[in-house]
Structure 1
């Protein structure tokens, strides 16, 4: 049990070091403004979106609207002649 606890502590320390490295390096990315313009999105999650969605093709999205639509976080406006509703996906 003690050996497992030592391994868990090592994994937690490595995760903390990775989080610190992301905090330092991510603001230098050329597309940092796009995911950080999403509401309530921090640096860690913004970095993950850049890695998973954009990858090496940083010219894939011209602005935040395109990335929001691709990720599925853009607002949806539905309307008829009598009423309209703005919702999230």
Structure 2
């Protein structure tokens, strides 16, 4: 059991070192992007969250015509259905599942 624990700790240390190297590479690459100062200007955005959002949105600034389109793509805009006297406001089930949690961060 002791040898097995030692091997597992060695594997865990290797995975942690790889994760640190990847985080450093993401931060360096993100900071060299032209939109990095815009992303870092938002409160609470760091390099990791900014890189994730930039990766999910993409480089094409004309992709979303309005801010509401981007909000709907992220799943943050509610669905409103109104017919006569009835009005329904619900949440979106179809959304980008990687961009949505990044908005909470």
TM range (shorter): 0.5 to 0.7
Residues 21-36 of structure 1: matches in 2 within 5 Å? 21-36=25-40
SS of 1:13's partner is: helix
Q: What is the TM-score with the length of structure 1 in the denominator?
A: 0.59
Cross-structure match for 2:60? 58
Unaligned runs of 5+ in 2: 77-103
Structure 1 residues 16 and 5: alpha-carbon distance in aligned structure 2, compared to 1, 3 A threshold: same
1:31/1:58 contact within 8 Å kept: no
Separation in structure 2 between the aligned mates of residue 49 and residue 29 of structure 1, nearest angstrom:
13
Count of matched residue positions in the alignment of Structure 1 and Structure 2: 68
1:26/1:47 contact within 8 Å kept: yes
SS of 1:46's partner is: helix
Structure 1 residues 21 and 28: alpha-carbon distance in aligned structure 2, compared to 1, 3 A threshold: same
Structural RMSD (CA): 2.8
Q: What is the TM-score with the length of structure 2 in the denominator?
A: 0.51
1:10 equivalent to 2:14? Answer yes
Runs of 4+ in 1 over 3 A off after TM superposition: none
Larger radius of gyration: 2
Unaligned runs of 5+ in 1: 73-88
Separation in structure 1 between the aligned mates of residue 64 and residue 37 of structure 2, nearest angstrom:
12
